[in-house]
Structure 1
């Protein structure tokens, strides 16, 4: 977890992929430093501590920039 956001919830979900059959992904609900609640989907291949943190930090920073405008 980064200081730019707090993870509120993670759900494991599945969907039908175009070529790979069933795909798993993880839906994260986060609260940004600016108090915005976001839902971010991360594919199973990117569901590692390092990659997920990078994705969630980028989404949180972008949301707070938009909110500040």
Structure 2
């Protein structure tokens, strides 16, 4: 799979699992993007593993995205 296709797949997973768009991710600071992508990698590893804990990986991904979105909202208000 090409790097572009892999990035597209990652963005599609974020959209379907967390309801976050490419524009929202792209607008986030690099450190936030890295944390979200790390959680996404954990989720993808669980998808690939025959006995991976998919539900907890999905929940961690969603929690990470929501926590980062909330932190950014708080930072804008301050």
TM-score (norm 1): 0.44
| Higher relative contact order (Cα pairs below 8 Å, separated by 6+ residues) | 1
